[in-house]
């Protein structure tokens, strides 16, 4: 269904870390493509002025090596800044003035979830909610109960079709490639089930710390920051039943159905960790128990996946920055082989960051008379050059009114349901060293053969 494009872009959180790393480059790319030909209003609490926000945007573009003088000049002409007080609705009247004659503004809110309702109410007070769209950054709320309450509260100002719950992982070329690979290769899809698959493992490792996000991160932690959203969406893409219909809307529904089948995470299937020195970060509570690392074991209650463990691990200040998803098939001996042990298990590994690759591990006979061999790896690499960056794609879709690559309300609530009990239970955050692979206790919930520690040199 065709919907009118948004005609103004209001950017809450324009001075934050996410804006610097991701959003300003995405907005300039959209502007260059002619998809952001509208007023762009940056919003913050401090009255820094339009010149200062243009300087911040330029610094971001310089750091990301995406600055182009001519494009930025045109972009800057449409960019202004407004300071607001979230507790004073009257300050939002300046936003109405800043968007001029725009009648269908899109507001992108890169702020903590406890501010979402205030922002929505104040936009409505200023007359910026009618025929408008509201894009909300993750995490959406803190648990399933607050997610349901937040959606209901927002409905007082924006209808469901105007709410866009963003998860930039859904816009990643590498994540979408998982679904494409399955659908386009029936030879492998036929074995994508409990009869053949032994386990699925996902590792999202970062070799840096909270990097200026300490105050936000300390209120959220690793599970709420990336597991409940990013990594569970990756699980959905790996495990969903491929829909019979085409298009992103059908896939959106398939992801939600899969998430509704994920069993609730038990306290015993979760290990939390905290990197040594985290409490010394500015903005972190001195007695903080917030996890910077999480390892867990999930199951999916469906005919396809019953009994197959899904292992997930993520952490800050680990050995490398890399994200891999590994599908490990069952190993089996065969009478024709002379190997004393079953041949190595076949695996598919999907590199989700920093590059885009798929690796197949298969066994190859060794030279000689004996029927013995060793595993070899076939790597398929695909450059992401020319592909839209996730935020460029998703924000462009929201401007066009296309929510198909956004998380449904049901998907968000189901993903919170999975973690509700475990998040509420008291558990120790085990200390681990910077540059390691997390606390030793993570092995308690990991694969029997140990966690696979991915290396940057090979997918």
Q: Inform me whether the pLDDT recorded for 457 exceeds 90.
A: no
For the chain, percent of residues with pLDDT exceeding 70: 97
Q: Report which of 315, 289, 312, 351 is spatially closest to residue 435, judged by C-alpha positions.
A: 315
**Residue with the larger pLDDT of the pair 4 and 337:** 4
* Of the candidate ranges 18-27, 312-321, 342-351, the one whose mean pLDDT is the lowest: 342-351
C-alpha R_g of the chain:
23
Strands (E), 276-421: 293-298, 310-315, 322-329, 347-353, 357-365, 373-381
Question: Residue range 190-206: average pLDDT?
Answer: 97
E strands, 215-255, in order: none
How buried is residue 416: exposed, middle or buried, by Cβ count under 10 Å (0-12/13-18/19+)? Answer: buried
Least confident of 131-145, 297-311, 354-368: 354-368
Rounded average pLDDT over 401-406: 92
Q: Of residues 125, 142, 168, 230, which has the active-site annotation?
A: 230
Does domain 8-137 sit in CATH 3.40.50.300?
Answer: no
Of all residues in the chain, what percent carry a pLDDT higher than 90?
Answer: 81
Q: Taking the domains of the chain in order of start, what are their residue ranges? A: 8-137, 169-388+431-445
Residue (of 229, 170, 442) closest to 318 by Cα position: 442
DSSP letters spanning 114-131: GGHHHHHHHHHHTT-STT
Is 230 annotated as catalytic? yes
Torsion angles phi and psi, residue 83, rounded to 5: -90, 135
Confidence of residue 318 (pLDDT cuts 50, 70, 90): very high
Look at residue 17 and tell me whether its pLDDT is greater than 80. Answer: yes
Q: In terms of pLDDT, which residue wins out, 317 or 337?
A: 317
246 Cβ contact partners less than 8 Å away, ≥ 6 residues apart: none
Q: CATH top-level class for 169-388+431-445?
A: alpha beta
- Contact of 36 with 26, CB cutoff 8 Å: no
Q: Do domains 8-137 and 169-388+431-445 have the same CATH topology?
A: no
- Overall pTM surpassing 0.85 (yes/no): yes
Q: Where are the beta strands (DSSP E) in 72-196?
A: 79-83, 105-109, 133-136, 163-165
Query: Longest C-alpha distance within the chain, in Å?
Result: 84
pLDDT digits 0-9 by tens, 105-114? 999 999 999 9
Q: What share of the chain is helix, strand, coil (3-state, %, to 5)?
A: 35, 20, 40
Backbone angles phi, psi at 275, to 5 degrees: -70, 140
User: What's the rounded mean pLDDT across residues 402-419?
Assistant: 95
For the chain, the average pLDDT equals 93
Closest CA to 429 of 227, 270, 281: 270
Whole-number pLDDT of residue 140: 95
Locate 258 and state its tokens. 């899969």
Tell me what pLDDT residue 427 has.
Answer: 84
């Amino acid at each position: 269904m065709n919907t009118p494009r948004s005609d103004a872009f209001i950017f809450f959180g324009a001075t934050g870390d996410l804006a610097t790393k991701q959003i300003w480059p995405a907005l300039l790319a959209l502007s260059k493509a002619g998809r952001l030909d509208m007023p762009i209003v940056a919003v913050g609490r401090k009255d820094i002025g339009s010149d200062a926000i243009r300087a911040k945007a330029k610094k971001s573009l310089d750091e990301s090596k995406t600055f182009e003088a001519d494009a930025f000049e045109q972009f800057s002409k449409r960019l202004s800044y407004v300071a607001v007080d979230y507790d004073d609705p009257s300050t939002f009247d300046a936003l109405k003035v800043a968007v001029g004659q725009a009648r269908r503004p899109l507001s992108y809110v890169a702020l903590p979830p406890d501010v979402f309702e205030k922002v929505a109410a104040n936009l409505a007070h200023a007359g910026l909610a009618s025929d408008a769209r509201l894009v909300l950054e993750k995490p959406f709320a803190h648990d399933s109960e607050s997610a349901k309450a937040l959606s209901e509260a927002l409905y007082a100002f924006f209808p469901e079709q105007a709410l866009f719950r963003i998860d930039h992982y859904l816009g990643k070329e590498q994540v979408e490639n998982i679904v494409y690979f399955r659908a386009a290769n029936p030879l492998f899809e036929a074995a994508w089930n409990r009869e053949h698959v032994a386990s699925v493992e996902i590792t999202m490792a970062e070799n840096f710390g909270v990097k200026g996000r300490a105050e936000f991160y300390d209120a959220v932690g690793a599970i709420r920051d990336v597991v409940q959203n990013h990594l569970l969406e990756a699980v959905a893409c790996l495990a969903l039943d491929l829909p019979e219909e085409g298009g992103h809307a059908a896939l959106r529904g398939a992801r939600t159905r899969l998430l509704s089948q994920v069993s609730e995470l038990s306290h015993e299937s979760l290990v939390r960790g905290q990197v040594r020195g985290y409490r010394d970060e500015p903005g972190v509570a001195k007695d903080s128990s917030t996890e910077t690392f999480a390892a867990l074991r999930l199951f999916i209650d469906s005919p396809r996946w019953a009994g197959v463990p899904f292992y997930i691990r993520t952490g800050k200040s680990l050995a490398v920055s890399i994200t891999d998803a590994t599908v490990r098939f069952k190993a089996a001996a065969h009478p024709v082989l002379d190997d004393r042990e079953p041949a190595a298990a076949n695996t598919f590994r999907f590199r989700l960051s920093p590059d885009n690759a798929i690796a197949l591990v298969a066994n190859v006979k060794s030279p000689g008379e004996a029927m013995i061999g060793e595993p070899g790896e076939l790597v398929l690499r695909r450059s992401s050059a020319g592909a839209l960056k996730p935020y460029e794609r998703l924000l462009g879709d929201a401007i066009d009114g296309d929510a198909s690559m956004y998380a449904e309300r049901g998907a968000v609530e189901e993903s919170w349901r999975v973690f509700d009990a475990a998040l509420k239970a008291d558990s120790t955050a085990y200390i681990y060293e910077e540059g390691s692979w997390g606390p030793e206790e993570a092995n308690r919930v990991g694969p029997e053969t140990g966690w696979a520690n991915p290396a940057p040199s090979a997918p």
